[in-house]
Structure 1
């Protein structure tokens, strides 16, 4: 027997609350960043624009909840086609900023980053692909696993490659991680997981060998500025005059925050202007320096609770297509959170990924709000049963 609930009753208010908390943290951190020496001309400029982006993102989130997510199955091929067209358009007609060609639009008027929206398009496309693969029971054989992995990689690798050559390693890695999540969700055997892990480790080992023995070929794959970031990650003090400068300053600021922080708008590194792009890529430095270890821990706990609610939605969803969509969104956020915080504390190299819902930005913020809208869409259309599911 099905227990009927309205869409409003099905709305996950806990998830929305955690999202609201992240918005508040974002506005506080961005306002503090706007008062630093590098932005002192108009301290409220960034926070005002962030409020606008939150408003736009909220409208997009609500819009994503209106249409039944099942409809996306009928348009997944078209969605994938739009993704490829946008990425090809960036290659031929994109706007170049700081050596990267990632944006489309009119300079100084309106621009957007197609690769941000491609993340969502890829989640929908791969979720539908996985749904078609798993809706019919398949034999648990190595050959069957090879076919599944080949299909997922066949869909995911073309946009991955197009984003990588922009170059945008951070977003390309997000696409790659979404593919990994979908492969795991497909239920492949440990033998296949072991093989893929071996291939990945071998690929990294081969790149290291190329760096040492075939450098001219190596830099055609890993661009010089990306290699400089790896050098800076390995030894920021040695490369402090170059790519290591941001990482060194960020780590100094985070360390200075200690347990309780230096106080709102009182951070030495965050207010001195020593750390470029502190309102975007390095927003975590402000939080850790001005609110200390406790403030940073609270932020991470809020992220954990947000993701926990999404995991619950994925588990309670009785539609595999919806489950795969939510799993893809979880993978999207997990990787971006880990990568952004990790790069500010020196755990991983700097890639330029924004901290979801906290960093200043337009395309990234709207994309993340759209992702939350998809999760809420799945949740409000999940059927609940009093005595088990109907056949």
Structure 2
């Protein structure tokens, strides 16, 4: 017997509330970052533009909720084709900024980062592929696992490679994180997981060997600026004048925040203008310095609650395609949060990933809200039964 509910009854208002709180934190942090004076504009300039991007993201989020997510199955191949066209176009005609060719558009008028939208398109394609693979029972054999992993890698690796050569290591790693999530969701054996982990560790060991024994070949894989960031991560104090400058001052600011923080717009490092990209990649520094450990913890708790709501949606969904979509979005956001906060506190190298829903920016913010819209879509269309589940 099915329990009938209207779409508005099944809309997850708790999830929307946490999203709204993150929006408020974003505006406060961006305003404070902009008061440092390093951008040459009034603090309200970035706040107004962020509100505009939130509005655009809200429209796309609602649009993603309106369309029955089952239709995404039929759109997965066209969306994948669009993804590859955008990435090829970026490679051939993209706008280069600071040595990276990641943008399309008209300089000074309108630009966007195709790889941000590609993340969502690839997510839908991988979820549909996994739905197709797991629709029928398959034997739990190593050969079967190899076929499943090969199919997932066949879909995920081409966009990963194109994004990596832009170069955009951060977004490329997001794609790889989604691939890993889908492989785990496919139910492969521990033997296959062990093999993949071994291959990943071997690849890292191979890069270390190349660095020590064939440096010229190593630089063909890891770009010089990426290597400089790794050096800065390993020893920020030895690279203060170079790539370690940003991380060193960010760590100084976070440490100065202590328990309660220095107060809104009162951060010594945040307001000194010495930290580049403070309103985007290093926005967490503003929060940690001006609101202290307590403020940073509150932000992490809100993230946890937001992700927890999405995990619940994935578990309660009785359509495997919806479960894969939601799990993919969770993996997408978890990796971005971990990477951004991790690079700010020196746990992982700097890659330039935005902090979801907090950092100033257009493409990243809009695509993350689009991802939330997909999750809400899944929840709205999940059928609840008093006895049993959907066949």
Distance apart, 1:44 and its partner CA: 1.1
Distance apart, 1:390 and its partner CA: 4.5
How far apart, in 1, do the equivalents of 2:379 and 2:50 lie?
27
Q: How does 1:323-362 map to 2 (within 5 A)?
A: 323-362=323-362
Report the counterpart of residue 286 of structure 2 in structure 1: 286
Distance apart, 1:265 and its partner CA: 0.3
Distance apart, 1:40 and its partner CA: 5.1
Report the counterpart of residue 373 of structure 2 in structure 1: 373
Structure 2: gaps (5+ residues)? none
Q: Does 1:178 align with 2:178?
A: yes
How far apart, in 2, do the equivalents of 1:39 and 1:167 lie?
25
Report the counterpart of residue 93 of structure 1 in structure 2: 93
- Aligned to 1:39, the other structure's residue is in SS state coil
How far apart, in 1, do the equivalents of 2:276 and 2:216 lie?
31
Aligned length: 391
Report the counterpart of residue 389 of structure 2 in structure 1: 389
Report the counterpart of residue 128 of structure 1 in structure 2: 128
Structure 1: gaps (5+ residues)? none
Q: Does 1:140 align with 2:140?
A: yes
How far apart, in 2, do the equivalents of 1:37 and 1:268 lie?
13
Report the counterpart of residue 191 of structure 1 in structure 2: 191
Report the counterpart of residue 38 of structure 1 in structure 2: 38
Report the counterpart of residue 13 of structure 1 in structure 2: 13
Structure 1 residues 390, 196: CA separation in 2 closer, same or farther (over 3 Å shift)?
closer
Report the counterpart of residue 78 of structure 2 in structure 1: 78
- Aligned to 2:162, the other structure's residue is in SS state helix
How far apart, in 2, do the equivalents of 1:211 and 1:306 lie?
41
How big is each residue's C-alpha offset from its partner over 1:125-179, in whole Å with a ceiling of 9 and x where there is no partner? 0000000000000000000000000000000000000000000000000000000
Report the counterpart of residue 301 of structure 2 in structure 1: 301
How far apart, in 2, do the equivalents of 1:190 and 1:364 lie?
34
How far apart, in 1, do the equivalents of 2:182 and 2:308 lie?
19
Q: Does 1:58 align with 2:92?
A: no
Report the counterpart of residue 24 of structure 2 in structure 1: 24
Distance apart, 1:34 and its partner CA: 1.0
Structure 1 residues 218, 5: CA separation in 2 closer, same or farther (over 3 Å shift)?
same
How far apart, in 2, do the equivalents of 1:319 and 1:389 lie?
9
Contact 2:383–2:390 at 8 Å: present in 1 too? no
Q: Answer with 305-314 or 32-41: which moved more.
A: 32-41
How far apart, in 1, do the equivalents of 2:338 and 2:33 lie?
22
Report the counterpart of residue 315 of structure 1 in structure 2: 315
Report the counterpart of residue 212 of structure 1 in structure 2: 212
- Aligned to 1:327, the other structure's residue is in SS state helix
How big is each residue's C-alpha offset from its partner over 1:207-227, in whole Å with a ceiling of 9 and x where there is no partner? 000001111111010000000
- Aligned to 1:137, the other structure's residue is in SS state coil
Dislocated runs of 4+, deviation >2 Å: none
Contact 2:319–2:390 at 8 Å: present in 1 too? no
How far apart, in 1, do the equivalents of 2:389 and 2:118 lie?
34
Distance apart, 1:41 and its partner CA: 3.5
Instruction: Calculate the aligned-residue CA RMSD, in Å.
Output: 0.6
- Aligned to 2:103, the other structure's residue is in SS state strand
How far apart, in 2, do the equivalents of 1:115 and 1:226 lie?
19
Distance apart, 1:54 and its partner CA: 0.4
Report the counterpart of residue 112 of structure 2 in structure 1: 112
After TM superposition, the score normalised by the length of structure 2 is 0.99
How big is each residue's C-alpha offset from its partner over 1:62-106, in whole Å with a ceiling of 9 and x where there is no partner? 011010000010121111000000000000110001110000000
How far apart, in 2, do the equivalents of 1:52 and 1:390 lie?
40
Report the counterpart of residue 154 of structure 1 in structure 2: 154
Contact 2:318–2:390 at 8 Å: present in 1 too? no
Contact 2:95–2:101 at 8 Å: present in 1 too? yes
Contact 2:266–2:290 at 8 Å: present in 1 too? yes
Report the counterpart of residue 102 of structure 2 in structure 1: 102
Report the counterpart of residue 265 of structure 2 in structure 1: 265
Contact 2:100–2:166 at 8 Å: present in 1 too? yes
